[in-house]
């Protein structure tokens, strides 16, 4: 029986400082650092991320590689911290990144992904307020009227050939051979973009100049070059081989998927995580009963993205051809059969699993008949409708700069500037749930123990990561630094630890009781 697909999303946000060339924050690294530092200082003690035990150079195919960029964040002093809701918030290369806490089901992950957007919006407000105070002081000193502000986008490229990621993570059973996962997963990852794509104007594949198509489904497809591999920033693979489970390595692996877009639509995020979790569960239970392996996945990924009609076929390794929509129907048919025979506890919640299958079917039906009916549910449809409407009203060509500005505005994290915020998009979760998730961890994963300990004993926690925390018990202890390991993602829940945390008066008492 497939294990519960504990899941999470890591989102790198695009960032810029306006006007370009401002003195202090005119590069994305310093702007990202200010952004995150402003938020962390306002809400909690900074607890640094603990890199101990991380192994990004280990490949799931059974070997290690030299990793050229070994964690520079600690050396450079950039902010890399853990939040009271169990999330990680840090500067990743030249971007602010928010990594959700571990969630037991796709619907909870929608909540915590949207909470990440709220964290970024609050960070922007605080950072820009600090910049305004700084600039007012400068203006009085120098008689100028300069203004610096930071802008953040939840998108995946700068429009100039540079891409940044939105990565998904799924807990997998270590017993399932990685080649089997890679072989049977690719076709879903290539074709799911018909409902998970965030949409993009133009083509950014290096060395390729295309006037047609002017619009494509997926923001990331242009940047992938191989089917399987370890890298995430160059020679990007559809299936990433990083073998870094952040859990008991003898029992689990973490499937790290880097091929997806950053979604604003709740339905798109829900389906992205939910359908992928179901397919992974079927792979674990050896339930895939037909050969849907693609002949050339990298070419197919780009072909699917560049066909908004959804009618072009892609070739299977068997020599047969199939549309991406038909392939998704095949996967849904197997998923319905799987749900009937095995249930959907693998999604953390049977009701949530049933909801995934319901939306999956509904969306495929609309894509088959009239995709524009999904303008209130899917990002790429919503964005296309905005762009096409504006283009028609103003008699513009697809290469007009105004359309590129609109493309970016769709993803703007400033509430007053965001085009997405102005749309009547379908919501699956409430604003109250999202607001609560900004400061409270999920109750049914180890994120609960992490978040509650950080909130109660933040001053005594030296560092933390996904599967451990280091407490400083004070100089009166023979071993002041004590590590608490959390190798089981579904332990450390509210049911298991809430009373314990409330009853303990100090970290010392907590660790003593944990050792009993």
Catalytic residues: 92
What's the Cα-to-Cα distance from 91 to each of 45, 76, 122, 124, rounded to whole Å?
Answer: 17, 11, 16, 14
CA-based radius of gyration for the chain = 23
How far apart are the C-alpha atoms of 87 and 139, rounded to whole Å? 38
As to burial, measured by CB atoms within 10 angstroms (0-12 exposed, 13-18 middle, 19+ buried), residue 394 is exposed
The C-alpha atoms of residue 250 and residue 3 are separated, in whole angstroms, by 14
**What is the CA 319 to chain-centroid distance, rounded?**
34
The three-class DSSP label of residue 316 is strand
* Cα separations in angstroms, 489 against 187, 269, 338, 383: 28, 22, 25, 37
Residue 454 CB-density burial (10 A; 0-12 exposed, 13-18 middle, 19+ buried): buried
CB 343 within 8 A of CB 323: no
Q: Cis before residue 171, ω within 30 degrees of 0?
A: no
CB atoms within 10 A of CB 255: 26
Q: Are 244 and 254 in contact (CB under 8 A)?
A: yes
CA dist., res. 513 & res. 504, Å (int): 9
Three-class HEC string of 137-192: HHHHHHCCCCCCEEEEECCCECCCCCECCEEEEEEEECCCCHHHHHHHHHHHHHHC
Report the greatest alpha carbon distance in the chain: 76
Task: Strands of 58-157 (E only): list them.
Answer: 58-59, 63-64, 80-82, 88-92, 95-99, 149-153
């Amino acid at each position: 029986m497939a294990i519960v697909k504990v899941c999470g999303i890591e989102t790198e946000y695009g960032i810029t400082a306006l006007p370009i060339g401002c003195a202090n924050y005119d590069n994305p690294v310093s702007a990202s650092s200010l952004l995150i530092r402003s938020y962390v200082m306002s809400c909690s003690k900074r607890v640094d991320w603990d890199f101990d035990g991380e192994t990004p150079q280990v490949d799931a195919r059974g070997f290690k590689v030299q990793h050229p960029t070994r964690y520079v964040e600690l050396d450079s002093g950039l902010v890399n911290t853990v939040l009271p809701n169990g999330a990680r918030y840090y500067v990743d290369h030249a971007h602010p990144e928010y990594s959700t806490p571990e969630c037991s089901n796709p619907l909870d992950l929608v909540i915590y992904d949207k909470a990440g957007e709220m964290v970024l919006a609050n960070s922007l407000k605080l950072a820009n307020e600090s910049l305004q105070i700084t600039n007012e002081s400068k203006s009085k000193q120098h008689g100028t009227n300069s203004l610096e502000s930071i802008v953040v986008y939840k998108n995946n490229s700068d429009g100039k050939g540079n891409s940044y990621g939105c990565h998904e993570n799924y807990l997998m059973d270590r017993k399932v051979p990685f080649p089997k996962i890679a072989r049977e997963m690719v076709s879903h990852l290539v074709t799911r973009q018909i409902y998970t794509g965030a949409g993009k104007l133009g083509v950014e594949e290096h060395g390729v100049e295309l006037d047609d198509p002017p619009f494509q489904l997926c923001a990331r497809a242009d940047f992938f070059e191989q089917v399987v591999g370890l890298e995430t920033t160059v020679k990007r693979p559809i299936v990433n081989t990083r073998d870094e489970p952040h859990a008991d390595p003898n029992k689990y692996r973490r499937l790290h998927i880097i091929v997806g877009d950053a979604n604003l639509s709740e339905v798109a995020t829900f389906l992205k995580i939910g359908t992928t979790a179901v397919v992974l569960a079927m792979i674990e239970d050896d339930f895939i009963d037909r050969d849907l392996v693609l002949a050339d996945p990298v070419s197919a990924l780009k072909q699917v993205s560049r066909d908004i009609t959804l009618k072009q076929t892609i070739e299977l390794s068997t020599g047969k051809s199939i549309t991406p929509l038909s392939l998704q129907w095949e996967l849904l048919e197997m998923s319905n059969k799987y749900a009937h025979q095995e249930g959907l506890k693998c999604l953390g919640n049977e009701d949530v699993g049933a909801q995934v299958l319901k939306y999956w079917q509904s969306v495929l039906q609309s894509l088959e008949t009239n995709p524009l009916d999904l303008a209130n549910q899917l990002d790429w449809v919503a964005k296309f409708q905005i762009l096409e409407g504006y283009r028609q009203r103003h008699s513009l060509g697809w290469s007009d700069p105004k359309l590129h500005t609109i493309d970016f505005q769709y993803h703007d994290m400033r509430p007053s500037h965001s085009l997405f915020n102005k749309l009547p998009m379908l919501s699956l979760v409430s604003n109250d749930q999202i607001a609560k998730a900004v400061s409270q961890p999920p109750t049914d994963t180890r994120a609960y123990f992490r978040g509650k300990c950080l909130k109660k004993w933040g001053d005594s926690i030296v560092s933390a990561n996904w599967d451990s925390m280091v407490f400083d018990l004070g100089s009166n202890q023979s071993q002041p630094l004590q590590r608490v390991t959390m190798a089981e993602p579904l332990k450390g829940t509210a049911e298991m630890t809430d009373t314990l945390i409330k009853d303990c008066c100090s970290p010392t008492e907590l660790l003593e009781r944990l050792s009993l």
